[in-house]
Structure 1
Amino acid sequence: MRFEIRPYEGAGKLHFGMRALEVKALLGEASDSFFKIPSDILASEQYETENLFIYYKEPGNVEAIEFYPPAKVFLESRELFSLSCEELRRLLLKLDPDLEVEVDSLTSYRLGIGAYTPNAEEDSTLPAESIIAFEKGYYEEE
């Protein structure tokens, strides 16, 4: 399945605010259900067939979608896992001059997109290990 990220809306046919039953109708049964952190109230789900995780917030709506290779994830028609960490950084910086660049991650609050890039310092030609699309407020502290 192809997932074109729509900033602060979703990716592909998945959209933020969907209920778990809607996700299940679209993707089938989750291959795994888990609590990302011990204090989570709602379980997250993994869909191995699509190489993604779905994160929920109360009362059970999608708040973020995290992809891992070889998921087909696109932004502005560019396949993100085919880009090196450096190419991804340049693309996101072009779209968001305020891109947050950390040693192991990239986060665009303007676009609602982040990338986990733990090996970028050693080898910037490697792709990101994961890409996350998130709704407004996902990273805000409560």
Structure 2
Amino acid sequence: MPDFDLKPGVGAGQMTFGMSPQDIRKVMDGEPVVFRRTPSDDFPCDFFSEAGVFCYYDKSGRLNAIEFAQPARPVYGGFAFVGMEFEPAKAALASLGKIEEEPDSAISLGLGVSIYSSLAKDDVAAPVETVLIFQEGYYGRAVGDQSEKTGSEK
């Protein structure tokens, strides 16, 4: 499996934020599984199972986040986070930018990168299961904030 170079604010590999599902499908191998994470999602997601890559789209159908699970190998700052023990991965992410910590995740809103391990609540040596790279504002929309900031409001 090739590495996916994470580019904060831009995307990963050949995928860039703002691309349409059709554009994403041209640069990814295989047919995606198309689904909605929740019934209220405005736009369906793509899952490229052979690559371990989830592509999430905003209500306009434009790529705004990419999540990586095994066998994907997302790399940022020299770290390949998927499969790393959670505590060292969290420290590595913190060395690259300020993070917000949860028992099972670490999020750098400034970088637009987060890591997740469902087992880390009970075992900090548990492996990182997923890495998410997201566009600015992704988490605001994810929790129900429908407002879009203009350049002067940022």
TM-score normalized by the length of structure 1 = 0.92
Cα pair 1:44 1:55 within 8 Å, conserved: yes
Runs of 4+ displaced beyond 6 Å: none
Q: How far 1:27 moved relative to its partner?
A: 1.0
Q: How far 1:58 moved relative to its partner?
A: 2.8
Supply the distance in 2 between the matched residues of 1:9 and 1:56 (Cα, whole angstroms).
14
Deviations 1:55-108 (A, max 9, x none): 0113211000011112111011221124210111101111223x1101121111
How many residues get paired?
Answer: 141
Equivalent residue number for residue 136 of structure 1: 136
Instruction: Give the partner amino acid of 2:92.
Output: L
Identity %: 29
Gaps of 5+ in 1: none
Q: How far 1:126 moved relative to its partner?
A: 2.0
Equivalent residue number for residue 74 of structure 1: 75
Instruction: Give the partner amino acid of 2:96.
Output: L
TM-score normalized by the length of structure 2 = 0.85
Instruction: Give the partner amino acid of 1:55.
Output: Y
Supply the distance in 2 between the matched residues of 1:120 and 1:29 (Cα, whole angstroms).
32
Instruction: Give the partner amino acid of 2:106.
Output: L
Instruction: Give the partner amino acid of 2:114.
Output: G
Could you say which structure has the greater relative contact order, defined with CA pairs below 8 angstroms and 6 or more residues apart? 1
